[in-house]
Amino acid sequence: MGKKQVWTVFVVALLVVIMPIFGKYFFPGFNRYFLHVGTFMCIMTILSVGLHIFFGICGQINFGCNGFYACGGYIASVLMINLNCHYFIALPLAVIGTGIITVLLGFAVLRLRHWVLALGTAAFGFAAFIAFRTVAVGFLGGDDGLFVSKLVIFGKKAGPSFYYYFALAWTIISILGSYFLENSRAGRAMKSIRADEVAAQVAGINIDHYIRMAFLLNGMYAGLAGALYAQWNRGVSPDSFTPDIAMLVLVYVVVGGLGRLSGAVIGTFVLVLLPELLIPLKEYELLIYAAIFFLVIRFMSKGFVGTVQDFLHRRKMVKLEAAGQYSRG
């Protein structure tokens, strides 16, 4: 990272951390709203960073994020309600549980590639949504879902700012994990699978292994998001995990700039904020998303971030050309 980027990250970090403390005293009404949107944004960011690892880095399509998200949420809720687990134990167990489900699903769907993989994962997303509505209604609550009691830490009930900071911390960990992964041997291997599977194999990369691992990470990130959601929302119901969620996350990642971590984060930020700014048009939310999606695909196929980066790189090439270091021969 360059100096400028470090400063940008620092300023953004300061804003998101200071805001609730500052807001609590000066504009309490807005603060509650800020914390609500902020927590939701953190959860969605974890989802889209997870998808970014599988789709953006490794180049495999997953339309079933809502399924993993639901698994994480339901596992955490069941552990807290039926086994009386503390949230801090239920959360990692939910992540691991979702991971196990992802691995099992992977045995079946990762034999597929490209659009067939999209269909396979989408089928899982739909199946999970329907299953949580209809299977074991007495246990999983059917359409009504499960109700989780308020989180108590050291005898104190946790408030909205706790959930915000907790989700924010996990978001930062998730983003850092993805950032480190991308710039490691494993991340480079995944990127080369995205570019060309044959060339990757010939470079000594075990593509099946890395695709499975990327899928596992995608599932575990989504499971984490689900577990965070379950406690914050004080419970889960199938309506929180509709297949729409999988599509939304996909749109976040693509609109921000597919294959770029900053793209996934900025895409989520802009598109979660957008409907909040356009509350009068709430009914047309998905329609507006679709319009943005098509406009971005058509006119800036590399997303917000990719288009800007490409412009900068081309300018650098022109400079090199002018300096005579480069010729078309």
Partner 1 sequence: MTLLQIKEISKHFGGLQALQSVNMNVEDGLITALIGPNGAGKTTLLNVINGILKADSGSILMEGEEIAHLPAHKIASRRIARTFQILRGYEHQTVVENLMVGCHVNTRSGILAGLCSLPLARAENRKAEKAAREALAIFDLTPYADIPLSVLPHGTQRLVEITRALVSEPKLLLLDEPTSGLNPRESDVLLEALKSIKEKGVSTLLIEHNMRLVMGVADHVNVLNFGVKIAEGTPAEIGKNPGVIEAYLGRKFSAAAF
Residues that bind partner 1 (CB under 8 A): 176-177, 180-181, 183-189, 191-192, 194-196, 198-199, 201-207, 210, 213, 217, 259, 310, 313-314, 316-317, 320, 325-326, 328-329
Nearer to partner 1, 50 or 235 (CB): 50
Nearer to partner 1, 66 or 192 (CB): 192
CB of 228 to partner 1, least distance (A): 19
Which helix (H) or strand (E) segment is 229 a member of?
helix 207-232
CB of 291 to partner 1, least distance (A): 26
CB of 316 to partner 1, least distance (A): 6
Who contacts 268 (Cβ-Cβ below 8 Å, separation ≥6)?
41, 44, 45, 48, 252, 256
CB of 187 to partner 1, least distance (A): 6
Nearer to partner 1, 279 or 323 (CB): 323
CA angle 156, 160, 163 (to 5 degrees): 85
CB of 178 to partner 1, least distance (A): 8
Who contacts 208 (Cβ-Cβ below 8 Å, separation ≥6)?
110
Q: Using DSSP bridges, classify how beta strands 152-153 and 156-157 pair: parallel, antiparallel or unpaired.
A: antiparallel
Nearer to partner 1, 128 or 254 (CB): 254
CB of 191 to partner 1, least distance (A): 6
DSSP state of 196: -
Nearer to partner 1, 201 or 242 (CB): 201
Q: What letter represents residue 163's amino acid?
A: Y
Cα-Cα end-to-end distance for the chain: 33
Nearer to partner 1, 148 or 181 (CB): 181
Nearer to partner 1, 235 or 263 (CB): 263
DSSP string, 94-136: HHHHHHHHHHHHHHHHTT--HHHHHHHHHHHHHHHHHHHHHTT
CB of 21 to partner 1, least distance (A): 30
DSSP string, 231-249: HHTTEE-GGGG-HHHHHHH
CB of 139 to partner 1, least distance (A): 34
Distance (Å, rounded) from C-alpha 77 to C-alpha 147?
A: 8
Q: Across the chain, where does the E strand assignment appear? A: 146-147, 152-153, 156-157, 235-236
Helix 3-26 to helix 28-51 angle (10° resolution) is 140
Nearer to partner 1, 103 or 207 (CB): 207
